[in-house]
Amino acid sequence: KAGVTQTPRYLIKTRGQQVTLSCSPISGHRSVSWYQQTPGQGLQFLFEYFSETQRNKGNFPGRFSGRQFSNSRSEMNVSTLELGDSALYLCASSSYPQGAGSTDTQYFGPGTRLTVL
């Protein structure tokens, strides 16, 4: 099976712009989670989508949003970019063999490196 893919791998934006990141989960996986990784804050949970519904949300401002499509692909959007949004954004997928609400192994993509100038 192909792994989790994220596009683009690298992005450079300027303050005030918006950006959309894409994530394609492993085939058959229905859950997609997003994480922000920075040297100062480490790995922080953004949100999780399951069957096109946001199920969990981390402590990030409303500028960070996401969605999931019927084929389980997910996008993350950040509006009005700030310098502090520069980070590696990681997407992870899992299969949920035990159904919604269960916790399962997450498989991570390589990430999108976002630089805000």
Partner 1 sequence: AQSVTQLGSHVSVSEGALVLLRCNYSSSVPPYLFWYVQYPNQGLQLLLKYTSAATLVKGINGFEAEFKKSETSFHLTKPSAHMSDAAEYFCAVSRPGTGNQFYFGTGTSLTVIP
What residues line the site for partner 1 (CB under 8 A)?
A: 4, 31, 33, 35, 42-45, 48, 50, 55-56, 58, 90, 92, 94, 100-111
Question: CA dist 7 to 23, 41, 92, Å?
Answer: 7, 23, 13
Q: Which is nearer to partner 1, 16 or 52 (CB)?
A: 52
Q: Which is nearer to partner 1, 70 or 103 (CB)?
A: 103
For the bound state, the minimum distance from the C-beta of residue 36 to partner 1, rounded and expressed in Å, comes to: 11
- Name which of 38, 39, 28, 37 is nearest 4 in CA terms: 28
Q: Which is nearer to partner 1, 62 or 101 (CB)?
A: 101
Encode burial over 66-101: b for 16+ CB neighbours within 10 A, e otherwise: bbbeeebbbbbebeebeeebbbebbbbbbbbeeeee
What DSSP character marks residue 59?
Answer: S
Residue 82 and residue 29: Cα distance in Å, rounded? 32
For the bound state, the minimum distance from the C-beta of residue 19 to partner 1, rounded and expressed in Å, comes to: 19
For the bound state, the minimum distance from the C-beta of residue 82 to partner 1, rounded and expressed in Å, comes to: 22
For the bound state, the minimum distance from the C-beta of residue 107 to partner 1, rounded and expressed in Å, comes to: 7
Q: Which is nearer to partner 1, 11 or 79 (CB)?
A: 11
